[in-house]
Structure 1
């Protein structure tokens, strides 16, 4: 699976897994509404890289994101969030002082193809017991820079702040049909890697409910 560059210092924590009873394990995953608020970070995902959802390399040619592990629904490989599409709208920066509120709100539709591993610190550390440092239970880690996303997607004010990359944004999110995703008309981008075993799922082209979303790889294999 791809590992977000900005979270590299805590990635090793996800290599230790504990076997829990099925009922306890199921209660760990965060159940989230179809719309709400979250944080947005970004990480480096090489073009044509096969991420944890097992989606084809072609998917990286369009906007994709990793979702924080406990909302993703698995500790390794695919989870129920795989293949789902979300419209993400930038609201304001979280770490800058003062917060930066852009004059124009920018949005992007992304497809979840990867997980952002749980950690003791960082932006993907929310669990059912508490949110991340910004008070959110979801974090989307945008694959960026990307050939599919304009280089000026993130607003900035370098003359005031002295830098352009704010790192962490507060956003609103909405679960949407993947027919609004840029890669919808590219059949190759909607498919799964073949011949890679049970991890090559990518799920339905447009997962919408429990009847066509992935099961949790962790639950299915008894991994917490």
Structure 2
């Protein structure tokens, strides 16, 4: 199951210092590459209060914490608002499946934290690949239609490729900020290594990953497209 960080209340707590926390893209030990590169993909629902603080009507996704650029409760990371072209290539659970596979362009609005998601989003500063050997993971929002377009019927987890692209290639509209300090400045920034929202805190490590409380988990709805 994929757990997300839609932390409206905690986001508002750090809003007054958000501007002071924005540093250069590479701070905190995060790994943020524009690609092209390899990635894994799943789907989730309950995307209305994403960690970046701005929901959207177009195809959106959460990205693994090591690439997101923040920790649960610290607000937006530098991935917020950036757009990526995702292309499916294979199903790690059905290696004989040959497609058809599709490509979509998504905007990152949410984080997939390490805690609770080690299989897909467990990349850390010391182990920079998840359990499927992928350095980046995208959890595609079902609510805005992206997952339905991207995933073949009966297949809820894929591996493939990603590449950061200009958000002029993304179709959709942004919602209103959910709290003071929300940020999706990556949508107007040049591709990485440029800085958009900036990073917050430090990257997750195997010895000390950020945790989500059980009450936070119970207060939100999570899903993965196909049970395995």
- Alignment map for 1:89-168 (pairs within 5 Å): 89-96=87-94, 98-102=95-99, 104-119=100-115, 121-130=118-127, 131-144=129-142, 146-149=143-146, 151=148, 153-156=150-153, 164=154, 166-168=155-157
Q: Residue 129 and residue 107 in structure 1: after superposition, are their counterparts in 2 closer, same or farther (change >3 A)? A: same
TM-score (norm 1): 0.70
Q: Give the structure 1 partner of residue 40 of structure 2.
A: 39
- Counterpart Cα distance in 1 of 2:109 and 2:28: 23
**What is the CA–CA distance in structure 1 between the aligned matches of 2:186 and 2:29, rounded to whole Å?**
24
The answer on whether the counterparts of 1:36 and 1:172 sit within 8 Å (CA) in structure 2 is: yes
| 2:82–2:167 CA contact under 8 A, matched in 1 | yes
Q: Secondary structure at the match of 1:123?
A: helix
Match of 1:202 in 2: 184
Change beyond 3 A, Cα 1:204–1:39: closer
Rounded to whole Å, the distance in 2 between the matches of 1:71 and 1:149 is: 20
Larger Rg: 1
User: How far is 1:214 from its partner?
Assistant: 1.0
Deviations 1:64-92 (A, max 9, x none): 00000011111132101000000000101
Q: Is the contact made by 2:3 and 2:113 (CA closer than 8 Å) also made in structure 1?
A: no
* TM-score, scaled to structure 2: 0.69
Counterparts of 1:152 and 1:31 in 2: how far apart (Å)? 26
Q: Where does residue 7 of structure 1 map in the other structure?
A: 2
Q: Which runs of 5+ in 1 are unaligned?
A: 1-5, 10-14, 16-21, 157-163
| Cα displacement (A) at 1:45 | 2.4
Whole-angstrom CA distance in 1 between matches of 2:44 and 2:147: 15
- C-alpha deviations, 1:165-218, integer Å up to 9, x for none? x332101111100001011xx4xx1x6516x222x1222433224555111233
Give the count of matched residue pairs: 180
Q: Is the 8 A contact 1:81 1:214 kept in 2?
A: yes
1:216 maps to 2:215? no
Shift of 1:155: 1.7
Contact 1:192 1:202 (C-alpha < 8 Å) held by counterparts: no
